[in-house]
Every structure is written in C-alpha cells, then in structure tokens.
Structure 1
Amino acid sequence: MQKLLSEIRDCTVCSEHLPMGPRPIIAGTSKSKIILVSQAPGRKAHNHHKAWDDPSGKKLREWLGVTDEEFYNPNNFAILPMGFCYPGKGKTGDLPPRKECAPLWHEPFWDHLQNVKLTLLIGKYSQDRYLKTISKKNLTENVSSYKDFLPHYFPLPHPSPVNRFWMVKNQWFDTDVLPELRELIATIL
C-alpha cells in the first residue's frame, strides 16, 4: 500500500491542466475501515497538503460524529477523491475533479484494502461512478434512499457551505439521516 500511495503522490498525469500544479492528496492503509470517496481537494487542502482541512471538513466530521484524531487516523478513514489534485477555479466555484485520476488509480487502491466496512460517497461525482445503474434520479434521491445502498455505500451531499440552501430545503437529512450515519460510524469504529 505504501508503494502505491507514493506512486499516486508522485503522479503528474494531468499536470498541464492544473493551475497550481500537481499535489495529489490521498490517505489510507490496508486496514482502513471507512472509505471517503469525494470530489477533489480544495485550494486550502492543496496549500496545506491535508484533505478536508477546511470548513467542509469540519462539517463532515460533525456529520460523522468523529474527532479530528479519529478522522485523520488512516486505519479508520481512507481518503480517495475522484480527482487527487486541486482542479482550479471556474466561473461558479472550483472546477470538477480531473477525469484521469479515478480510472487510473481507484482500482489499484481498492485492491490493497482488506477491512472495508463502509464507503461514503460524498457528492454527485462519486455517486455517479460507484452507484452506476443502481443510482436514483439525482443526488437528493440517492441521499434520501441511502438504505437502498447499504451495507456497502452511504451517499452524502458535499458538506460545503455552498450547499447550505440544499440543507435548508432538505431538513430531513439533518433529522433523519445524520443520526443513523453517526450510529453506523460509531459501530464501525
């Protein structure tokens, strides 16, 4: 696993498309219990070279009911973004994750995992890749139907502050889904 992580961290496949250059972020061990499949690191994560080191990460840890120490323990959580590097800024926010990463690196990463209990699919990009034909009509339906994807997957919206309108519109997520998610995470850890 360490050899693979080094190879991924040295990857420059899409460097010509990255305005801040390549700086792949990934974490995990063969013992990782929960896999976080998300979009791509944000600018702050890129600068600090630490995944989920921003308001979105703080919100995600709150959703999961875990401490920073629990979250950043790679035996607990593996970090597997759809794109490993910050993709840059677009007109309405960060650009989508680069499409080269997942096909190139996800399968070899999964091949090294031996103890996975749950995969959290954070955002639409990860849900499209992993749920494929069993996906519902949209992210909201995937999240509201999370029980349909258990025990393997648990779809979530992105915890970005930009999604605050989604949260207000879908208060059932806070009252119904998050308590069950926290209970499941506590049981696994």
Structure 2
Amino acid sequence: MKKLLKDIKQCAICNAHLPLGPRPVVSAHTDSKIVIIGQAPGTKVHISGIPWDDASGKQLRKWLAVSDEDFYDATKFAIIPMGFCYPGKGKSGDLPPRPECAPKWHSPLFNELKNVELIILIGMYAQNYYLGKTAKKSLTASVKNYTEYLPKYFPLPHPSPRNRFWLTKNPWFENDVLPELRLRIKGLQN
C-alpha cells in the first residue's frame, strides 16, 4: 500500500489540464473499514494536502458523527476521491473530477484494501461510477433509496455549504438517512 500511495502522490497524468498543477490527495491503509469516495479536492485541500480539510469536510464529519482524529485515522477511513487533484474552476463551482484518476487508481487501491465493510459515495460522480445502472435518475432519488445499495454502498449528497437549499428541501435526509449512517459508522468503529 505504501508504494501505491507514493505512486499516486507522484501522478501527473493530467498535468496539462490542472490550473494549479498536480497534487494528488488520498489517504488509505490496508486495514481501512470505511471508504469515502468524494469528487475532487477544492483549492483549500489542494493547498493543505489534507483530504476534506475545508467547510465541506467539517460538515461531512458532523454527518458521520466522528471526530477529526477518527476521520483522519487511515486504519478506519480510506479517503479516495474520483479525481485526486484540484480540477479548476467552472461556471458554478469547481469543474468535474478529471476522468483519468478513477480508472487508473481505484482498482489498485481496492486490491490493497482488505477489510472494507462500507463505501460512502458522495455526489453524482462517485454514485454514477460505482452504482452504474442501479443509480437512480437523480442524486436525490439515489440518496433517498440508500437501503437498496446496502450493505456495500451508502450514497450521500455533497456536504458543501452550497447544498443548504437541498438540505432544506429534503428534511428526510437529516431525519431518516443520517441516523442510519451514524449507526453504521459507529458499529464499524467498535
């Protein structure tokens, strides 16, 4: 695993497309039980090199009901984005994750992850990639029907502050989905 992580952190496969250059961000350990697959690092994470080291990460840890210490313990959580580097700015937020990363690095990572019991899929890119034809027509529908993907996958919306409207519009997420997610996370940490 150490060699693989080193190789990923040295990756420059899409260098020509990255406005800030390559700085792959990933965290994993062969003992990780929970895998978080998000989109791609934002500018804050690009600068710090620490996954989910921003407002979205703070919200995600709140959703999971875990401390920073537990979240960043790679023996508990592997943090693998769909795109490992900051992809650049788009019209309404960051650009989509670069398409080269997941096909190149996800399989080798999962080959090293021997104890995975839950994969949390954050956002449409991760859900479409991993759920394939079983993904619903919308992120909302996939998240609302999360039980269909258990015990392997748990789809979530992105915890970005930009998604406040979505959270307000879908109160069932905080009332029904988050308690189940927290229960599963707690069970896997014991």
TM over 0.5: yes
Aligned to 1:131: 131
* Superposition RMSD in Å: 0.5
Greater Cα offset, 77-86 or 131-140: 131-140
What fraction of aligned residue pairs are identical, expressed as a percent? 58
Aligned to 1:85: 85
Shift of 1:92: 1.1
Pairs within 5 Å for 1:145-156? 145-156=145-156
Shift of 1:120: 0.0
Pairs within 5 Å for 1:30-45? 30-45=30-45
Pairs within 5 Å for 1:108-187? 108-187=108-187
Which 4+ stretches in 1 moved above 3 angstroms?
none
Q: Separation in 2 of the partners of 1:89 and 1:47?
A: 15
Shift of 1:135: 1.1
Long gaps (5+) in structure 1? none
Q: Separation in 1 of the partners of 2:90 and 2:178?
A: 31
* 1:67-117 residue CA offsets vs partner (Å, 9 max, x unmatched): 000000001100110000000111111111000000111101110011001
Shift of 1:137: 1.5
TM-score (norm 1): 0.99
Is the counterpart of residue 13 in structure 1 residue 27 in structure 2?
no
How many pairs are equivalent?
A: 189
TM-score (norm 2): 0.99
Residue identity opposite 1:89 in structure 2: K
Q: Separation in 1 of the partners of 2:90 and 2:136?
A: 28
Pairs within 5 Å for 1:17-28? 17-28=17-28
Long gaps (5+) in structure 2? none
